[in-house]
């Protein structure tokens, strides 16, 4: 199916690995011109180099960074059609999981909201005028099922993403009549560096429950999350949902929250 994305311009945050890398790669394959935002590079990202890709080495904890990414897209490619607010999770220097409400200080809460909510607010503020000038645009915010299924683990993260979900609904209402669609994609457990890197979630959970890291990722984590597919989600599966929402094939989809969670959420 032709997604009718060729020639469009996108900004993707958190683009050097995991979900963001899969989104960036998939957009490029569809002929989209991409400004990819990340603090660091990766070998997998470097392999995507080409005339339709620009890297913006920005830290989204800097209030100026989201606007700079949008400005680069306009300068390099002449406008902006798609914004994917993918960067999120633990702020730089933070290790998750946290297992109790009392594990997070005021400063931890501020950093979590800065990274997962305020950076998105700033990116949207910069992007919307360019989209409304074109008469259309698609904004996709990457959230989490923890925004809809409260849990004592990573409570500050879940709260920040719940606010993000609310923001997406509000934005879709305000800007829909001007051609700008705003949707949310909420993954469950996704097999990314957050799990796999040394000292990451798999290692930390393995220490908590007395298991090895591979058992956590292959069996125990999906079981603990009651995922009916019995496995963690692949980043490409999230990217596929993002591309469809970015496409004009989804012209009547706005204000939605798409779940890609292996059956974690059971509510109707």
Alpha carbon of residue 261 to chain centroid: 14
Cβ(208)–Cβ(165) under 8 Å?
no
Residue 203 is predicted with a pLDDT of 84
Q: Where are the domains of the chain?
A: 9-190+234-260, 191-232
The Cα–Cα gap between 197 and 194 comes to 6
Q: Which residues contact 189 (CB under 8 A, 6 or more apart)?
A: 195, 221, 222, 225, 227, 232, 233, 261, 262, 264
Task: Give the 3-state secondary structure percentages of the chain, helix then strand then coil, rounded to 5.
Answer: 50, 15, 35
Beta strand pairing call for 180-187 and 82-85: unpaired
Block residue for tokens 């074109």: 134
Question: For position 211, what pLDDT does the model report?
Answer: 84
pLDDT value of position 70: 98
- Residues 6 or more apart whose CB falls under 8 angstroms from that of 60 comprise 13, 37, 66, 87, 115, 119
Q: How many helices (H) and strands (E) does the chain have?
A: 11, 7
CA 189/CA 219 separation, integer angstroms? 12
C-beta atoms surrounding 176 within 10 Å? 13
CATH code, 9-190+234-260: 3.40.50.720
- CA dist list (Å): 72 to 54, 141, 203, 208: 9, 20, 38, 44
What integer pLDDT is reported at residue 18 of this predicted model? 95
Catalytic residue chosen out of the listed positions 113, 115, 157, 195: 157
Q: Give me the pLDDT at residue 221, please.
A: 85
pLDDT less than 70: residues of the chain: none
Query: CB under 8 Å to 119, separation ≥6 — which residues?
Result: 13, 60, 61, 65, 66, 85, 87
Pair of tokens at residue 5:
């994305």
The C-alpha atoms of residue 268 and residue 264 are separated, in whole angstroms, by 12
Beta bridge partners of 141: 85, 184
* Alpha carbon distance 46, 26 (integer Å): 15
pLDDT at 8: 98
Q: In terms of Cα–Cα distance, which of 96, 100, 105, 90 is closest to 205?
A: 96
What are the φ/ψ torsions at residue 193 (nearest 5 degrees)?
Answer: -60, -25
Catalytic: 15? no
Tell the burial category of 263 from Cβ atoms under 10 Å away from its Cβ (0-12, 13-18, 19+): middle
């Amino acid at each position: 199916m032709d997604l009718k994305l060729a020639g469009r311009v996108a900004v993707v945050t958190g683009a050097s690995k995991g979900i963001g890398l899969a989104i960036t790669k998939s957009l490029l394959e569809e002929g989209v011109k991409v400004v990819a935002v990340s603090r660091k590079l990766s070998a997998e990202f470097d392999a995507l180099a080409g005339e339709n890709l620009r890297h913006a080495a920005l830290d989204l904890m800097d209030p100026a960074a989201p606007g700079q990414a949008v400005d680069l897209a306009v300068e390099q490619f002449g406008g902006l059609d798609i914004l994917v607010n993918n960067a999120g999770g633990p702020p730089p220097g933070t290790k998750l999981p946290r297992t109790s409400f009392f594990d997070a200080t005021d400063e931890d809460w501020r950093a979590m909201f800065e990274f997962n909510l305020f950076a998105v607010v700033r990116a949207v503020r910069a992007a919307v005028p360019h989209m409304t000038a074109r008469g259309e645009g698609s904004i996709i915010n990457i959230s989490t099922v923890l925004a809809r299924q409260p849990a004592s683990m990573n409570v500050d993260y879940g709260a920040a993403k719940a606010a993000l979900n609310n923001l997406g609904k509000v934005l879709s209402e305000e800007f829909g009549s001007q051609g700008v669609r705003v949707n949310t994609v909420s993954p469950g457990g996704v097999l990314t560096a957050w799990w796999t890197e040394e000292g990451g979630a798999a290692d930390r959970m393995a220490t908590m429950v007395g298991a090895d890291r591979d058992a956590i990722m292959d069996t125990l984590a999906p079981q603990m999350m009651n995922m009916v597919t019995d496995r963690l989600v692949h980043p490409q599966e999230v990217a596929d949902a993002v591309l469809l929402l970015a496409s004009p094939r989804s012209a009547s989809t706005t204000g939605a929250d798409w779940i890609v969670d292996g059956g974690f959420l059971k509510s109707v």
